[in-house]
């Protein structure tokens, strides 16, 4: 291997970045190309410098590590570093190759680096084992609280409570809020799974509605219904959607 | 408060039985000793005692509004003397005209009635005094009971607060991140690592031992909170500053333990953790006529979208203050011009 591995460290605490730097010092095949103290900065640097590997903290100001990843088009290899142990499953879902719990030992850190190097040397050998493992783990879905959207250069964070409804648009969904509509590259299935069903209901193949925004249900034609939202938007309701609403009311 | 004679069936029964005995006694005295014929004696007794039975229930209200926590003793005394004369006056006038109209034929009785007015005034005032005294006993008994219940509640709440604060302060996120910082410092700055280890240990020890006591000096609470702030300062360096503006008079004021640190933790969580800019955390304390006012404020990023868990710590502090001082308005939260401010009032 003649090219150095480019690494970016993302953490809002300098000391946390320092320890990673210290542990990395002995690897002469690794080059730290940037250090970032928040998600915005990291986003910019990753897109510019195209690192091979990032060390990523989860809890950071404004946007979390996960939210930042969602906005990356071609994410590098990720090693999470965090004091929380409850994100491990989610970490595997976003294809992280490792999850370092702070504080971590140098041995544990070296293991991670080894894994990353193996993966870089043999790109085709993907992380299937871990993926398989994470699937066998009992999945506890943590519902979404916020949705991040990249619009040109701007990053918009929407609390899910502000979402009125979501509409399917090919490979994207359109998210409607009182402040505007936003396009996001995710599937309806994703939102159906990750939005709390106590607040959101899939009323149609193409629509998920915020229950608190539903004002009334109207008979449209024979056996076909529409719901009216509080801003008087009308959305179609499928048969199964109608069943779900009926159960909800009961 | 509703009249206990009406609210409580048992008390009401006792009240009625007492009046019935008085009524019998009254009739007997008039008939046997004062030679009033039985018919007139009965009517006199029914009217006068019946009227006072009703009047006695209404005495509850002046008693209830004349308590020591609102008025001084002399004021209460004067109020009751006035009330005694006024109510007895009404009682005699009403009784007098009623009996006179009904028993106009009984000449002996009418003579007796005219002569008895002074006696009736004395009896009326005596009734008033007895009922008032009983009412006060009931009020103080009720208050005492309430106080017992409140104390039990307070104890339960403190226990809960202890548990919660333990969970909060020994927040694993905070500890593991601090340990991670120490880990980094051991290599690069051993002296600072040592300093941070000692601070973290003191903070944890304080948190664990402190819960027994209910109140602490403000100064001690500040020192304890500073351990926490110092640790966060090592982690976040220049991301926040802490400023103190304390009236010297405030330093020794006793405040419920563990009410400051959660506020600082809040400021760090919602201010420092969520912002890219520098955060200023200010602690002020000033003395007014009635209160020591403690203010914890910080600026915050208005665009930060909250994650979760806001206000539980503050709610908890509010509940404790309410139970300890029996006052509802001792904590207020203001949010203006990107400043988040919590005001705490400690009654003097």
pLDDT at B90 over 80: yes
ipTM comes to 0.72
Q: Read out DSSP for B286-347?
A: EE-SSEEEEEEEEE--TTPPP-S--SHHHHHHHHHHHHHH--S-SEEEEEETTEEEEEEEEE
Q: How far is residue A209's CA from residue A192's CA, in Å, rounded to a whole number?
A: 10
- Is A15–B173 a contact, with Cβ atoms under 8 angstroms apart? no
Phi, psi (degrees; rounded to nearest 5) at B254: -85, 130
A114: Cβ contacts below 8 Å, ≥ 6 apart: none
pLDDT of the residue at A8: 96
Of A12, A16, A158, which is closest to B180 when you measure between CB atoms? A16
A59 touches chain B (CB under 8 A): yes
pLDDT of the residue at B213: 54
- Which of B145-149, B171-175, B236-240 has the least mean pLDDT? B171-175
pLDDT of the residue at A171: 85
- Is B185–A15 a contact, with Cβ atoms under 8 angstroms apart? yes
- Which of A39-43, A105-109, A132-136, A219-223 has the least mean pLDDT? A132-136
Q: How far is residue A5's CA from residue B224's CA, in Å, rounded to a whole number?
A: 46
Candidates A107, A87, B177; CA nearest to A99 is A87
Q: How far is residue B131's CA from residue B121's CA, in Å, rounded to a whole number?
A: 15
pLDDT at B163 over 80: no
Burial class of residue A231 (count of CB atoms within 10 Å of its CB; 0-12, 13-18, 19+) = exposed
pLDDT of the residue at B186: 93
pLDDT at A48 over 60: yes
- Three-class HEC string of A87-139: CHHHHHHCCCCEEEECCCCHHHHHHHHHHHHHHHHCCCCCCHHHHHHHHHCCC
Q: Chain B contacts of A22, Cβ < 8 Å?
A: 184, 187-188
Candidates B91, B173, B74, B170; CA nearest to B127 is B91
CA-based nearest residue in chain B for residue A19: B184
pLDDT tens-place string over residues A20-38? 999 999 999 999 999 999 9
| A and B: number of Cβ contacts within 8 A | 69
A219 touches chain B (CB under 8 A): no
* Chain position carrying tokens 């959607």: A241
- Which of A43-52, A221-230, B304-313, B334-343 has the least mean pLDDT? B304-313
Percent of chain B exceeding pLDDT 90 equals 25
- Is B184–A19 a contact, with Cβ atoms under 8 angstroms apart? yes
CA-based nearest residue in chain A for residue B270: A61
Contact status, residue B343 vs residue B294, Cβ threshold 8 Å = yes
Q: How far is A228 from chain B (nearest CA, A)?
A: 28
Q: How far is A61 from chain B (nearest CA, A)?
A: 4
A8 touches chain B (CB under 8 A): no
Residue, of A39 and B170, whose pLDDT is higher: A39
pLDDT of the residue at A111: 93
- Tokens representing B287 are 């003395």
Neighbours of A178 (CB within 10 A): 10
Percent of chain A exceeding pLDDT 90 equals 38
Interface test with A, best of B173, B176, B179, B184 (most A CBs within 10 A): B184
Q: Chain A contacts of B271, Cβ < 8 Å?
A: none
Rounded mean pLDDT, B59-74: 78
Query: If you average pLDDT over every residue of chain A, what do you get?
Result: 86
Q: How far is residue A44's CA from residue B152's CA, in Å, rounded to a whole number?
A: 57
Candidates A174, A124, A117; CA nearest to A149 is A174
Confidence of residue A49 (pLDDT cuts 50, 70, 90): very high
pLDDT tens-place string over residues A183-233? 998 889 889 888 988 889 999 999 999 988 888 888 877 778 888 998 888
Q: How far is residue A229's CA from residue A212's CA, in Å, rounded to a whole number?
A: 9
CA atoms within 13 A on the CB side of A41: 14
Rounded mean pLDDT, B24-49: 87
- Is B180–A102 a contact, with Cβ atoms under 8 angstroms apart? yes
pLDDT of the residue at B200: 92
pLDDT of the residue at B2: 64
pLDDT of the residue at A224: 81
- Is A14–B304 a contact, with Cβ atoms under 8 angstroms apart? no
Percent helix / strand / coil, chain B, rounded to 5? 70, 15, 20
Confidence of residue B296 (pLDDT cuts 50, 70, 90): very high
CA-based nearest residue in chain B for residue A20: B184
Q: How far is residue B9's CA from residue B11's CA, in Å, rounded to a whole number?
A: 6
Confidence of residue B12 (pLDDT cuts 50, 70, 90): confident
pLDDT at B298 over 90: yes
pTM: 0.64
pLDDT of the residue at A124: 46
Of B176, B236, B304, which is closest to A102 when you measure between CB atoms? B176
A103 touches chain B (CB under 8 A): yes
pLDDT at B174 over 60: yes
pLDDT of the residue at B341: 93
Confidence of residue B307 (pLDDT cuts 50, 70, 90): low
- Is B276–A38 a contact, with Cβ atoms under 8 angstroms apart? yes
Contact status, residue B107 vs residue B71, Cβ threshold 8 Å = no
Rounded mean pLDDT, B124-153: 88
pLDDT at B57 over 90: no
């Amino acid at each position: 291997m003649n090219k150095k591995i480019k690494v970016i460290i993302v953490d809002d605490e300098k000391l946390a970045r320092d320890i990673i730097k210290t542990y990395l010092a002995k690897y002469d095949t690794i080059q730290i190309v940037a250090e970032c103290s928040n998600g915005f900065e990291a986003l910019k640097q990753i897109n510019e410098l195209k690192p091979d590997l990032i060390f990523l903290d989860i809890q950071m100001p404004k946007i979390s590590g996960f939210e930042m990843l969602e906005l990356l088009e071609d994410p590098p290899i990720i090693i999470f570093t965090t004091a929380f142990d409850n994100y491990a499953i989610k970490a595997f879902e976003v294809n992280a190759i490792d999850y370092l719990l702070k504080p971590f030992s140098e041995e544990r850190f070296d293991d991670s680096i080894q894994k990353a190097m193996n993966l870089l040397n043999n790109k085709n050998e993907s992380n299937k084992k871990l993926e398989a493992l994470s699937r066998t783990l009992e999945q506890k879905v943590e519902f979404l609280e916020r949705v991040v959207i990249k619009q040109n250069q701007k990053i918009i964070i929407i609390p899910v409570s502000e979402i009125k409804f979501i509409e399917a648009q090919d490979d994207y969904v359109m998210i409607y809020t009182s402040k505007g509509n936003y396009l996001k590259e995710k599937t309806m299935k994703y939102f159906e799974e990750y939005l709390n069903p106590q607040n959101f209901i899939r009323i149609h193949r193409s629509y998920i509605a915020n229950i608190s925004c539903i004002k009334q249900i109207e008979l449209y034609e024979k056996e076909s219904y529409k719901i009216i939202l509080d801003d008087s938007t009308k959305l179609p309701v499928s048969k199964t959607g109608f069943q779900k609403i009926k159960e909800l009311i009961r | 408060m509703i009249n206990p004679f009406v609210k409580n069936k048992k008390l009401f029964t006792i009240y009625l039985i007492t009046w019935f005995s008085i009524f019998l006694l009254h009739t007997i005295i008039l008939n046997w000793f004062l030679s009033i014929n039985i018919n007139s004696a009965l009517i006199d007794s029914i009217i006068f005692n019946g009227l006072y039975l009703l009047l006695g229930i209404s005495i509850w209200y002046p008693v209830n509004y004349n308590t020591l926590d609102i008025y001084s003793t002399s004021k209460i005394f004067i109020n009751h003397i006035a009330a005694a004369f006024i109510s007895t006056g009404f009682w005699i006038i009403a009784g007098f005209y009623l009996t006179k109209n009904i028993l106009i034929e009984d000449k002996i009785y009418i003579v007796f009635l005219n002569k008895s007015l002074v006696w009736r005034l004395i009896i009326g005032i005596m009734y008033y005094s007895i009922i008032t005294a009983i009412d006060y006993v009931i009020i103080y008994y009720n208050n005492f009971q309430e106080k017992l219940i409140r104390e039990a509640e307070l104890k339960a709440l403190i226990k809960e607060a202890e548990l919660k604060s333990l969970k909060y302060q020994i927040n694993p996120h905070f500890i593991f991140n601090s340990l991670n910082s120490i880990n980094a410092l051991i290599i690069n700055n051993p002296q600072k690592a040592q300093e941070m280890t000692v601070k973290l240990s003191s903070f944890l020890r304080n948190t664990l031992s402190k819960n027994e006591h209910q109140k602490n000096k403000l100064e001690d609470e500040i020192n304890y909170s500073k351990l926490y702030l110092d640790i966060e300062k090592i982690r976040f360096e220049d991301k926040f500053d802490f400023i103190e503006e304390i009236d010297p008079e405030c330093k020794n004021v006793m405040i419920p333990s563990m009410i400051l640190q959660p506020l600082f933790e809040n400021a760090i969580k919602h201010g420092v953790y969520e912002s890219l800019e520098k955060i200023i955390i200010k602690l002020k304390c000033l003395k007014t006529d009635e209160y020591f006012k403690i203010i914890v404020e910080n600026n915050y990023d208005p665009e930060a979208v909250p994650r979760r868990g806001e206000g539980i710590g503050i709610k908890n502090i509010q509940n404790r203050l309410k139970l300890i001082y029996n006052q509802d308005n001792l904590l207020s939260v203001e949010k203006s011009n990107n400043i988040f401010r919590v005001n705490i009032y400690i009654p003097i």
